[in-house]
Amino acid sequence: MSRVYNFSAGPAVLPEEVLREAADEMMDYRGCGMSVMEMSHRSKVYDQIIKEAEADLRELMNIPDNYKVLFLQGGASQQFAAIPMNLMKNKKAGYIITGQWAKKAFQEAKIYGEAVELASSADETFSYIPDCSDLAITDDMDYVYICENNTIYGTKFKELPNTKGVDLVADVSSCFLSEPVDVTKYGVIYGGVQKNVGPAGVVIAIIREDLIRDDVLPTTPTMLKYKTQADNDSLYNTPPCYGIYICGKVFKWIKKMGGLQAMKEHNEKKAKILYDFLDESKLFKGTVRKEDRSLMNVPFVTGDADLDAKFVAEAKAAGFENLKGHRTVGGMRASIYNAMPIEGVEKLVEFMKKFEEENA
């Protein structure tokens, strides 16, 4: 067996320990004589899996009792519609546009009500986070929406926007469980899990209870009503059982690693190695304003598209996979999520140094 260093933005690297454990339990989950994939979601055994996953996540994120944790399907993109459907009481919300995912959510919200663009960093290819200290937020807005870590452009909100008392909704897909978070600052935190937590298809939504209501937009499908899912403990219909089981294992792995504070230190250490190199390199350059740099997604360029392509090809041949930048920005991007070991980043930087010497 040989594993590469996988810098994919998502689906992305998972802890080897988790994969091994899942492999061991594949044919016979703890004496059940069947795989988790094959068992009823109404069984006692599965009930314990999903309850334990929720309990571990609550412990990790210190989630207050007045927040529900929902394990949903449809990926993060499904929530682009579910959020306005469930939360747009006044049919008005503010959106901060820091990249393609925020823009997609914004466009989707326009289908259901008045979505107002509060700020944008489109003018500089989303390479920074706009000043959000005094936005034109009005009392009649049902929520203010952000994409907290911008997977494609490599920016992260280091400080949450001043929402002037309006509830904050955040897509945290690509920074989920990468550092401690104060859940009470949000109305809704949600993320697709395939960036940092588990297999694609599962989306976790952490929602303050008073935002889970019956009076949603009348056309809201039963499945997309948070109340349906909350009343049924995420078991209204068959949930993505196997995916949730893997998420549960990742939660346990993070706990074992020391929790979110330890994860943050681990991620800062990794990111520093790469950013420090980018800052001193004569060939490679980071594309993001320093103070807004993400710990998870690190885009960089040489400034020459042919040389970028050569780098990606040679890196791949050397065992560093998925370094090509997003199709909308070009260049390179190294995604260094929780499960990327520090050696992966160290070896990547060694390889970049060598490439720089050879192509000076």
Interface residue list for ligand PLP (CB under 6 A): 10, 75-77, 101, 147, 151, 171, 173-174, 192, 195
Query: Whole-number minimum distance, CB 333 to ligand PLP, in Å?
Result: 12
Strands 144-147 and 149-150: unpaired
Work out the number of other CB atoms within 10 angstroms of the CB of residue 148: 25
| Residue of 56, 142, 167, 171 marked catalytic | 171
Query: Whole-number minimum distance, CB 359 to ligand PLP, in Å?
Result: 31
Cβ proximity of 209 and 186 under 8 Å? no
Q: Nearer to ligand PLP by C-beta: 171 or 179? A: 171
Query: For residues 40 and 42, what is the distance between their CA atoms, to the nearest angstrom?
Result: 5
Q: Nearer to ligand PLP by C-beta: 69 or 283? A: 69
Q: Nearer to ligand PLP by C-beta: 77 or 281? A: 77
Q: Nearer to ligand PLP by C-beta: 296 or 332? A: 296
CA separation, residue 132 to residues 101, 149, 162 (Å): 18, 15, 6
Sorted by sequence, the CB contacts under 8 Å of residue 182 that are 6+ apart come out as none
Query: Whole-number minimum distance, CB 61 to ligand PLP, in Å?
Result: 18
Cβ proximity of 95 and 143 under 8 Å? no
Q: What is the DSSP letter of 223?
A: G
Query: For residues 261 and 178, what is the distance between their CA atoms, to the nearest angstrom?
Result: 9
Query: Whole-number minimum distance, CB 105 to ligand PLP, in Å?
Result: 8
| Residue of 56, 68, 101, 324 marked catalytic | 101
Per-residue DSSP letters for 173-202? TTTTTSS---GGG-SEEEEETTTTTSSTTE
Residue 253 falls in the annotated catalytic set: no
| Residue of 56, 68, 142, 195 marked catalytic | 195
Query: Whole-number minimum distance, CB 282 to ligand PLP, in Å?
Result: 31
Work out the number of other CB atoms within 10 angstroms of the CB of residue 228: 17
Q: Nearer to ligand PLP by C-beta: 66 or 328? A: 328
Residues known to be catalytic: 101, 171, 195
